[in-house]
Amino acid sequence: MTLGPLMLDLEGPELTPEEAELLRHPLVGGVILFARNYESPEQVARLTGEIHEVRQPPLLVAVDQEGGRVQRFRDGFTQLPPAHLIGRQHDLDAVGARAAAATLGWLMAVELRAVGVDFSFAPVLDLDWGVSEVIGDRAFHRSPEVVASLAGQYMRGMAHAGMVATGKHFPGHGAVTADSHKALPEDRRPYVDISEDIRPYESLIPQGLNAVMASHVAYRKVDPLPASFSRWWLTDELRGRLGFRGAIFSDDLVMVAAESIGDIESRARAALEAGCDMVIVCNDREAAIRVVDELSGYAEPASQVRLARLHGRKPLDRQALLASADWDSARDRVRHLTDPPPLELDG
């Protein structure tokens, strides 16, 4: 059995028999976890183990564990700072900030790998234009060169821990005020201006960026369709001009910003036809089942190969991690940084 193009969520901290049966469907390829699925490191390790045992090859298990406001697993995990604090440090000490970014990438990834999570949807590559309601301090910096530099180090830290990186939200979510969870953001800049947001991807793709999440933003002067559903953005620009060969994820298809495409079945078809390898459907089990029914018979061998590369490597026993000097040292480096209040997004 291969990995299908659909990533789903779970209702709670335990895998129910009904959910296990759904995850066995050949069109399902992954599971995204949220705070509601987490009680403790031991519990979530059991949960990821059960998910991985459902079928072969194992389903991908993902989570949003950026740090700051967007960190699903908290108690029992290091409280990670928002990316923006690393960007502020860069303004004072570029060398130190790059080292801190690599440490944070490693720490985030190694703690997740120790409980069986394959990858986190990180790092954020959006530029901090100072206007976005939902990006804000999740972005490293306003400068594309600084974002590329810090995200590149963060990505290297993740790789050292056995985890691939997922850059988001292509081609850039930082210049719009609306939150795509609640409305369809519209970026009315011409392509020449949007190209500044794309520069971190231009830098990181040759360095081995393994995955990208597309934005639910409509760049009206380029293509009327939101990027997640735009063949121009995903196939012509990302795969064509930028030469990206990794996996492309849609953002959650249940977000309000995706409703302009039509019903959930239409959204899934449109995203896959535009170039997504995997679509995410969260917080609506009926919608997920409808997508499974709609995609009956769907197969894309190239996507299956790209998705298979996202499995985590270097499995590490959690107790061994907690006893390691590397873990102690990494935690010391972030101990002086504080987190803002948590922000629980739906996808």
- Mean pLDDT per 10-residue interval, the chain, length 347 residues: 94 98 97 98 98 97 96 96 95 94 97 98 97 92 98 98 98 90 90 97 97 96 97 98 98 93 97 98 96 92 97 92 95 70 51
pLDDT at 340: 46
Instruction: Calculate the dihedral angle through the C-alpha atoms of 272, 293, 311, 124, rounding to the nearest 10 degrees.
Output: 50
User: How many other CB atoms are there within 10 angstroms of residue 223's CB atom?
Assistant: 18
Residue of 181, 236, 326, 339 marked catalytic: 181
- In the residue annotation, 181 being an active-site residue is answered as yes
Bridge partners for 279 per DSSP: 6
CATH number for the segment(s) 6-332: 3.20.20.300
264 φ, ψ (degrees, to nearest 5): -60, -35
Per-residue tokens: 315 = 């499995």
CB 26 within 8 A of CB 83: no
Cα–Cα nearest to 2, from 300, 235, 239: 300
- In the residue annotation, 216 being an active-site residue is answered as no
End-to-end CA distance of the chain: 27
| Cα–Cα distance measured from residue 152 to residue 148, given in angstroms and rounded to the nearest whole number | 6
Interhelix angle 191-204/144-160, nearest 10 degrees: 30
Residue of 118, 251, 252, 277 marked catalytic: 251
CB 225 within 8 A of CB 194: no
What is the DSSP secondary structure assignment for residue 239, as one 8-state letter? Answer: I
Beta strands 218-219 and 186-187 are: parallel
| Cα–Cα distance measured from residue 98 to residue 154, given in angstroms and rounded to the nearest whole number | 8
CB 94 within 8 A of CB 138: no
Cα–Cα nearest to 202, from 272, 267, 151, 258: 151
Name every residue whose Cβ is closer than 8 Å to that of residue 64 and which is 6 or more positions away in sequence: 32, 34, 70, 71, 72, 120, 121, 122, 345
Per-residue tokens: 126 = 């959006």
Lookup result for tokens 């369809």: 184
pTM of the model: 0.95
Give whole-number Cα distances, 73 to 11, 41, 80, 310, in Å.
16, 8, 10, 20
Cis peptide before 301 (omega within 30 of 0): no
Give whole-number Cα distances, 140 to 109, 187, 271, in Å.
18, 20, 28
